[in-house]
Amino acid sequence: MDRVLSGMRPTGPLHVGHWLGALENWVKLQETHECFFMVADLHALMGEYERPAEISKNSTAMVIDWIACGIDPEKSVLFVQSQVPEHCELAALLGMITPLGWLERSPTYKEQLREIVGRDLTTYGFLGYPVLQAADILLYRANKVPVGEDQEAHLELAREIVRRFKHLYRADRALVEPEALLTKESRILGMDRRKMSKSYGNAINLSDPEEIVRKKVQSMITDPARVKATDAGHPEVCNVYGYYQVFSSASTVKEVHDWCTHAKKGCTDCKKTMADFLIGRLQPMHKKRREILSALEKDKDTISKILEEGRKKAQKIARQTLEEVKGLMGIGAVRDFKGRDK
């Protein structure tokens, strides 16, 4: 069976973009693959090292979001990266063979340095971001890695590291070249028509209660040419129409097109109907979330127990790979000066 590993950084509440862009796919993969889903708290620390307090809170919240979406701890292994120290160890070993140029040339690295202001990312750790990510994947010999297009370069780097490792140590089996399962960018935008993102404050969160979802939908930008209700609208440029395309049926989309272009319905009404569709789709998640929250009330360790189970399963595999890698690199075992095993 193919093995899948993927991870997310616990940087805040998950939103509808995460669901459509990743989680929906993860939930499906559980049925056909052996899945490992990792809370990438060390990767979060690379960006948030000045304010690390939120990371562990966000980790628990993120796992609740995952389970609410249908990630099933009975089917998949859910674990926290920093609880399996083998990730750091393998990253250090892979760092020995990763040329600096590969990291400096990484498009994500260059982009982040340019775009992220107010945080100093010129750290050793941040440059090594893709090396740690490679370690995450290689420890489990995962051959499939579902990621967004923004992570494609990191996957390629992991593959290059594997090839270099095989070449240097004439080792064929210890590490497996992972293949990306590219997930398309989420098809919907934030309330302001920019990419949905926590940092833009334009996201509809999976944990938002119904009233908040309705409020956010009402604040969405529509066709700017439709000033009065009697003005004909252009659905193609309207964000709300995009949501209909994702959350309602083909026949509804047709209806919306008609009432918009013929000014039969105003935007407030149109948004209200869209919110009904969206809330309908979020409802199973809200139900599941309530179940988790009441389980947490009875036993506050519910989530930590799931993660501890996951850690055990993950670490068992991680240890084996790491031992093999160390053996091939010729370290770990103590030998006497004549090279005999002690």
Binding site for ligand TRP (CB under 6 A): 5-9, 40, 43, 133, 136-137, 145, 147, 151
Q: Alpha helix locations (H) across 12-71?
A: 16-18, 24-32, 41-48, 53-69
Instruction: Decide: is 317 part of the binding site for ligand SF4 (CB under 6 A).
Output: no
Select from 50-58, 67-75, 104-112, 259-267 the region that touches ligand SF4 (CB under 6 A). Answer: 259-267
| Closer residue to ligand TRP, CB minimum distance, 143 or 252 | 143
**The only residue of 21, 233, 242, 310 in contact with ligand SF4, by rule CB under 6 A:** 233
What angle do the packed helices 302-329 and 267-298 form, to 10 degrees? Answer: 80
Q: Which two tokens stand for residue 244?
A: 């209909």
What number of residues does the chain have?
342
Instruction: Decide: is 267 part of the binding site for ligand SF4 (CB under 6 A).
Output: yes
Residue 199 phi, psi (nearest 5): -70, -20
Residue 145's binding partner among ligand TRP, ligand SF4, none (Cβ under 5 to 8 angstroms by kind) is ligand TRP
For residue 230, the tally of other CB atoms under 10 A from its CB is 8
Instruction: Decide: is 240 part of the binding site for ligand SF4 (CB under 6 A).
Output: yes
Instruction: Decide: is 260 part of the binding site for ligand SF4 (CB under 6 A).
Output: yes
Select from 5-13, 54-62, 109-117, 218-226 the region that touches ligand SF4 (CB under 6 A). Answer: 218-226
* Total chain residues near ligand SF4 (CB under 6 A): 14
| Cα–Cα dist 137/149, whole Å | 17
Residue 184 phi, psi (nearest 5): -65, 150
Contact 102, 157 (CB under 8 A): yes
Instruction: Decide: is 21 part of the binding site for ligand SF4 (CB under 6 A).
Output: no
| Closer residue to ligand SF4, CB minimum distance, 119 or 265 | 265
Maximum CA extent, the chain: 91
Which residues are at the interface with ligand SF4 (CB under 6 A)?
222-223, 226, 233, 235, 238, 240-241, 256, 260, 265, 267, 270-271
